[in-house]
Every structure is written in C-alpha cells, then in structure tokens.
Structure 1
Amino acid sequence: MKSKNSIAYFGLSILACLAYIWIGYGIDRESFFLLFGLYSFCFFIGLLLSKQSENISWQLLFFIGLIFRLSLFWSVPNLSDDYARFLWDGELLGLGSNPYEMPPKEWMAQNQELISSYLEKLFQLMNSKGYFSIYPPSNQLIFWFAGLVSDSQIIYPIIILRLVLVSAEMGVFFLLRKLLLTLKLSSSRIGWYWLNPLAILEISGNLHFEGLVLASILGALFFISRSNVFGTSASLFAGVGIKLVPLILLPSLFFDKNFRKKPTFWLGGLLIFFLAFSPLIIDQSYVNLWESIRLYQGKFEFNGSVYYLLREVGFWIQGYNTIATLTKILSLTTFVLIIWFSVKNSKRDTSGIIRLWVSIYLIYLFLQPVVHPWYLLPVLGLSVLINSRTAILWSWTIIFSYQAYGNIDFYENPLFLWIEYVPVFLLVFWEFRQNKLNYPFQVSQNEN
C-alpha cells in the first residue's frame, strides 16, 4: 500500500512539474484562464502532498520543492517585468553610474555613448522608465553581481539572480523546519509554503526578493527562540535592507521591554541599518529613493481591497479619485493599528510573536492600495508556524489579480476582486474571533 502511495505521489509531482514548466516557458500573464487552471492545479497538488507529508521524508519533500523551482532555471520571467529594472540598475552600477541619480529616460538621453543593445533591450522591457530606482542598496549589490555575467545576454544575469533567490529559499526551508521542531509543531506544515506555487513562481520564476525578506524574518524568529537579542535585530534589519516593509514589525519588539531595554538590540539593528543604507549618502541618493517611495504610495493602485472600497466612497463624495488623500489616511491608520496591536500584545512567547507578526502583515496588506501577489510571501511563510490559514487561502485566490493583465489598460474586473477577497476576509474574521490571530483586546494564548 505504501509503495502504491509513493508511486501516486511521484506521478503527481511529475504532473505538477510539467505544469510549472508550461507556466514558465509556454504562456504569458495575459492568458489568465490558462494560468488560473495551471496555478490551481499546482496549488492543490501542493496541498495534497503537504497533507500526506507525514508519509514522505522531509528530504524527499525538500527535493520535490527544489525540483519545482529548478524547472524554471532557464526561463525568462513572463508574469512580471520587474526583473528588467533589476538588471538595468545592475548594469548601470557596472558602468560606474548611480542608479538613484536619474530615471532611465533621462539617463538614456544623457548617456548616448554608453548605450548598448543590451541596455536598449532592458529599457524597452521596463515598466518604470520615468521613475528613480525604488530598490535599496542591498538589492543593488545583488543586481550588480548578476550584471557581471551579462555579456549582452539577458539570460545569464537572470540565472545568477535565480541562484541567489533559490539559495535563500533553501534557507527558508531549513529555518522553517528548525522553528517547527522548536515550537513542537507538525513538520507537514512546511509544505504549505515549500510546495506553494505562489512562492515557486514569484521567487524562482519572477525573481522577486520576498524570499530573502522571509529568510531574514525567520532568522529573527530563530534568534528570538534562542533569546539572542543582537541576532534578532540584526536579522530583522537585514530584511529591511532588502525591502523596507519589515519595518512594520519593529513596534512589536520596541514595546517589549525584553528587547527595548537591551543595548544589544539597538546595537544590532543600527549596525545593520548603517551598513545597508549608508551608500544612499552618496550624491544624496536617499532624496531620489524617497521620491520614488512617495510617488509609489500616492500614485499607483493595484489589487487593493479596503482601499478600493474607500476610493469608491471618495468618487461618490468628491467626484474624482482621492488617492492622494486616501493613501495618507490609510498609512496613518496602518501605523496606529500596528502600534495598538503591538502594545496590547506586548507580553508573549515566540508563538505569540509569530501570531502578532502575521496579524501586522495582514493589516498592512489589507490597507494597501497596491498588493502584488509576491507581497504575500512573508506572511505566507510565517503562517506555517501558527494555526492561521488566511494567508494560505489568499495565496490561491490572489491569482485572480492576474486577470487585469489580459484587459485593455489593465482594467481590474470588480467581480474577480470580490472572488479574491470575500473568502479571505471571512476567514480572517473567523480567525480573529477564534484567537488564531492576535486579538488587540487581550494577550494571546500559547499555541496549541
């Protein structure tokens, strides 16, 4: 019987791998219904294998997930064009230019003698030609490293980025496994992330850096479980150096006297923060980086939930899009809620911290005007360590956001937004009521 099960698991893994290859090499993001079918197939195969992982060794589970990721090894990202900006910034650094100094359009106009066919191709592929780079210096270092092998071929730096990100994903796997053992939780949970198509396609496929962010957050949790205050802050700020978003987790530690009153907490954080962001002093690069962040927060909108509902209210009252005002209100609301949750849950064990971090991430994402699928990956990884299923459900329904790319002007059909968000909001409401997520009126209980 066990032999038959092994053959069935092997067959399902082969089929899922073929689906990943089809997605990575055979379709584009405009083919929504085909993408939805293949993605859903991979999602439910991953859930099935995770559910049966008690009968599969962790080594085999690791191997299956790694093969899924490596099946995309030679692919050029087809669900996101962000990689073009990554490679552009890396190429500029290789040429001795500052990627924060001017937008690509302006750089092309002023540096005609440096333009190559490779740069021209990246410029045509980019979606942010008129904006300063929004990626912190730690990212830029990785972009520069990948650019060392460009040789006018776009695939080679893509492979370097993919190797870096898959290596980080391997770190995520082993950190999750270690934390599950520490928390005395079932190791079968690891498949919820490791075999999830959102993680596989958005990191290995589309080259997004949320995997590195998740690795740093899990590293911070590992150090918390070891009562290592210096390592906790250093690891968390290493994630901030990749993406600024993990700063939302800082209040949860600041309002815990076990961290706030330890000099090593401040030493670790400030040291890594200085190493990560000191290059922005050059040519006042921080000014242009901040300009890009400000424009991003006040101009763009995609796959929002609460924001879209409030935007409609704004249209009804004012008669126009109130994004400039609304984003400021939502940012302030996010900040207040994060502080409130952190203060009300300041006394907790490692499991309580994880629940709080999942709650904070969900608050942040629900109130954002832009929620790209890969933004969900850190909270998806954290959810493996608690009883929350909201992020796992959302990691499937978020594929509906891709329907916009098949429409003129990326029109987002409200029907698909309702399909995506209604199940997620119903589940998160139930989990808050069941105290599976941190409830702001009481201190969380230990994980069962």
Structure 2
Amino acid sequence: MPVSLYGSPMLRSRRTFGVLSLLTCGLTCALVYAAVYRLPGFASLGPLRNLVATLLASLPFALAVLLAERRWPGSLGLKVNQRVERIPAPRLDRVDMAVLVGGALVMRLALPGSAVVASDDAYRYIWDGKVQAAGQNPYAHAPDSPALAQLAQGDPFWPKIYRRDMRTVYPPLAQLWFWLAYLLGGVSVIGLKTIFLLHELASVLLLLTLLRRWGLPAGRALIYAWSPLAVVQGFAGNHLDTLLVPWLFLALLLADEHPFFSGAALGASAMIRPVTALGGPALALFRPSRETVLVGGGFLLACGALSLPYAAVGLDAMTESLRTYGQHWQFNGSLFKVADALLNQWAPFRPALYGTIALCSLASALVRVDRDTRMTLGIGAYFALAPTVYPWYLLSILALSAVTGGAFPVALPALITLADLVYVDGAAGGRWEVPRPALWLEYVGLYGLIALRLISHFRAIRRTHTY
C-alpha cells in the first residue's frame, strides 16, 4: 500500500519546521526592507539605503538558500554536473508554491509604492511614457527641447530628469512599457511599480516552470525571487532590467521545441537591454542548421517589429544617446580599467573593446556546457570588459545563474552593491568613483567565485572521463 512521503509524524514535523524556517527568513527580509525604506531614521542614509538594505537582507537570504538546499536537495548547486538527460520534476505542492511566490511578493510589497529611491532613471521612464501618450516619438526630441516645452510645464518629474539635453537611450520594448506605465499611473511611479510587480511574478512562475521541466530543484527559483539584488536594485530602484528577466526565462523555456519563438523572446529582451543579444550565439549554436536559422530569424523579426512604431525618426536618432553612452560613460568597470589605462590614447579603443566583447561572447558560446551556462558566459563577457557596470545591470546574470545554482548568485547582491559606496566617495572628494578598496573587494569576490565554479566544472569533467 503506498505511503505518503510525509505520512510519518516525524517527517511531517520536519517539513513543517522547514516551511516555518523559510517563512521566518522571508519575513525577516521583508521587515528589513520595510524598515530601511519606510522608517524616518533611515532617511538620512539617502542613496546609501540600497546598500544598507542589501547587506542587512543578505544574511537571511543566504540562510533561506541553505534551508532550500535541505528542502530541495541540489538547490544551491554546489555539485557541478552536466545535465545529459532532462527528466521533468514533480510540481510543487500548494504550500511550497505559496512560500516561494508569496515570499517574493511580500518582500516587494513591503517597499513604499510611490517612492523613487537612489536612482533618477524612473523620472525619464515616466517622461518618455508621457511624451508617447501625447502622440510624440520619444526618440525625436530631448526633454529640454522647445518642441516639448508645453509637456514639461508644471511636470514635477521634469526637473529631476538626468541629462535633459539628451534624447532617450532606452530601447523600443522598454518604451512601450513606459507608455503603459504612464497611462496607468500618470506622473507617478505607481503604474511603473504595477508593471514591475507583474513582470517579477511572471519571472518567478516561468523560472519554476523551467526548473520543473529540466528536472532541477525548485529551490533555485528562490535564488532569484528572494534575491536582494532583484528586490532592491530592480524593484525598489525602479530599474528596467526587471522587465527583461521573464523574456530570458521564456527564451530558455522555448529553446528546445520552439527555436523561432525562443529567438523572438531573446529579441524582446534585447529591446529592453541590448546586452542580452550577446546570449544569442549560445541560444543558436549546437543545434541543427535549420533551427539556428529559426532562432536568428525570430530574434531579428522581434527586434524589427518592436522598433517599427518608432522608426520614422530614423536609426541615427534612435541610437544617438546609446552611442554617446557607449563611447563616453564609465563607472565600476573591472577589466576595462586595465585596458583603459593601457590603451585609452588609442583612437579606436572603444570600438575595438566592443569588438573584443563580441568575440569573447561568441567564443563562450562554443564551450561545451549547458545552454543556460553558455548564455551566462556570453552576456557575462560584456560585464567583465564593460566600462559601465551598475549593480542593476547584473539582473540578467542573476537570473541565468539562478538556473545553474552555486554560491555566485547568492553572494552577487552583497558584492556588486558595494558600488553604491560611490555616494560616500563622491560626497567626500567630489569624484564619481567607487572607492578602490570597495572595488577590489567587489571584483576579487566575484571573480574568485567564478574561478571556483570553473575549477569545479573541469574537475567534474575529468572525473567523468576517468570513470
């Protein structure tokens, strides 16, 4: 006669204790966020609230991941194995689903719904949406253009927009969401928060579906859903990278059976943050040539279709600010600083740098590892060499590495958010640079974890060949 997995009182008691322990960790994170962003005593921290919230929440988050490892063995992914055969895992029961998804929602709802914290990007998002609602093309004029003077009059967000002399830098799919956010909430971040929350919910559900289909532990969904990087830099910081995550998961989910739509999903993510296009070779290679063409076709069609509503101003106007950003901006880079110190006097340095990034991404797609790992390496090559690496840019890396597991995505929030110490250094010395000790700690930690992961991977390959 079959016996329920939790039929014995001892097993039921252990499961209840495990669920309650996870809930405690999740509620602790939520209380940290509520305290840091809502209590007046923390307001004096100003833009450093993101760093404080991340560091305080990192301990209960890490403990939650360890508990998930006990609840769903393999969630942390410390053992590196090639997934030769994907056997779908059983669905989560209602209690587990409620804990994982409910915890993610509670953490985000603990944050103030109308606040703009640490970053002024949200002001530009809402402005771009307002311009579109007025029937204008957001790529046609900079916010301080006389053509938009009537829209700017009396707008409380307009004076807070960064670089009002520049056209928008944000790609077409992001613009469509900005337009919808303005229609929902007007000149406030309420509409934006609503869209972000729905995207976060979609991300968690798609990740759970992906993990189940690939036979991976459901606890890995917690690595993204409860991550302080996603909650603080993505949701609290009102950053558009939150919008691209579900498209990345959808691209992976459709990769095996629907290559065309998988490529289209990746194209959609690139129309929010173009760097995700570097995951394209990993998605397209190591498959029949017909499927490679379908992936590429889906990607190009999605990019073209999403750009079409804005194409009347021409490609030059649509990419003007993006090109300026790529040529002149720099912040929190790692390997870029070495290259810049050696080659910054060489006129074609930046174009050569981006060409090198493209080649590194293509080379990483040829490594014989799982597709999600190759995509992580392809996109990660950009961030290793990029001149500008804000913490929220790494949401795509967090999402993809959550599928693989390991210590890297768990430590990533605390390490990358050390870049926020720029606010201390900037206030003290008038510079916009991350303090050197913080920069060293940030990248020695991140590259050290990557190196350990690679060593574990090659050891696993050696053991496979030995036996």
TM over 0.5: yes
Structure 2 residues not aligned, in runs of 5+: 1-12, 72-94
Q: CA deviation at 1:32?
A: 6.7
| Contact 1:50 1:195 (C-alpha < 8 Å) held by counterparts | no
The answer as to 2:248 corresponding to 1:246 is no
Counterpart in the other structure of 1:278: 308
Match among 334, 337, 346 for residue 360 of structure 2: 337
C-alpha distance in 2 between matches for 1:265 and 1:389: 31
Distance in structure 2 (CA, Å) of the matches to 1:31 and 1:309: 32
Calculate the TM-score normalised by the size of structure 1: 0.85
Instruction: State yes or no: 1:18 paired with 2:51.
Output: no
TM-score normalized by the length of structure 2: 0.82
Instruction: Give the share of equivalent positions with the same residue, in percent.
Output: 22
Please name the residue that 2:439 is paired with: 417
Contact 2:332 2:433 in 1 (8 A): no
- Distance of 2:377 and 2:422 partners within structure 1: 28
Alignment of 1:4-403 (within 5 A): 9-26=22-39, 27=42, 31=46, 35-53=50-68, 55=71, 57-105=96-144, 107=145, 109-118=146-155, 121-150=156-185, 154-155=187-188, 158-225=189-256, 227-258=257-288, 260-261=290-291, 264-284=294-314, 286-314=315-343, 322=345, 325-345=348-368, 352-403=370-421
* CA distance 1:28–1:238, change in 2 (3 Å): farther
- Aligned to 1:308, the other structure's residue is in SS state helix
User: What is the CA–CA distance in structure 2 between the aligned matches of 1:146 and 1:194, rounded to whole Å?
Assistant: 23
Give the drift of 1:196: 0.7
CA distance in 2 between counterparts of 1:259 and 1:384 reads 29
**TM superposition shift of 1:182:** 2.1
Gaps of 5+ in 1: 315-320
Distance 1:44 1:75, change over 3 A: farther
Partner of 1:76: helix, strand, or coil?
Answer: coil
Q: Which amino acid aligns with 1:331?
A: Y
Q: Distance in 1 between matches of 2:311 and 2:407?
A: 42
Alpha carbons of structure 1 residues 410 and 60: separation in structure 2 relative to 1, 3 Å: same
Amino acid in the other structure paired with 2:33: Y
Deviation at 1:342, TM superposition (A): 2.1
Q: 2 CA distance for matches of 1:30 and 1:292?
A: 32
C-alpha displacement of 1:268: 2.8
Give, in angstroms, the shift of residue 263 of structure 1. 5.4
**Alpha-carbon distance, 1:283 to partner:** 2.3
CA pair 428-10 structure 1, distance change in 2 beyond 3 A: closer
Deviations 1:151-177 (Å, cap 9, x if unpaired)?
A: 5xx43xx11111111111111111111
What is the CA–CA distance in structure 2 between the aligned matches of 1:5 and 1:308, rounded to whole Å?
45
Q: Closer, same or farther in 2 for the Cα pair 1:39/1:323, shift >3 Å?
A: farther
CA distance in 1, matches of 2:66, 2:175: 39
Asked if 1 retains the 8 angstrom alpha-carbon contact of 2:139 and 2:317, the reply is: yes
Is the 8 Å Cα contact of residues 133 and 292 (structure 1) preserved in structure 2?
A: yes
Question: 3-state DSSP class of the match of 1:362?
Answer: helix
CA 1:71–1:280 in structure 2 vs 1: closer, same or farther (change >3 Å)? same
- What letter is aligned with 1:124? P
CA distance in 2, matches of 1:189, 1:344: 23
Q: Which residue of 2 aligns with 1:426?
A: 448
Distance 1:380 1:296 in 2: 24
Structure 2 distance, partners of 1:189, 1:310, is: 36
Closer/same/farther in 2, CA of residues 37 and 83 from structure 1, 3 Å limit:
closer
Q: Give 2:327's aligned amino acid.
A: G
- Over residues 313-354 of structure 1, what are the superposed CA-to-partner deviations in whole Å (9 max), with x where a residue is unaligned? 35xxxxxx5496443232121111112222354xx6xxx111
Segment of structure 1 superposing worse, 369-378 or 425-434:
425-434
Which shifted more, 4-13 or 158-167? 4-13
Q: 2: distance between equivalents of 1:312 and 1:172?
A: 39
The residue type paired with residue 355 of structure 1 is T
- Give the whole-Å Cα distance in 2 for the aligned partners of 1:262 and 1:173: 28
Deviates more, 1:416-425 or 1:90-99: 90-99
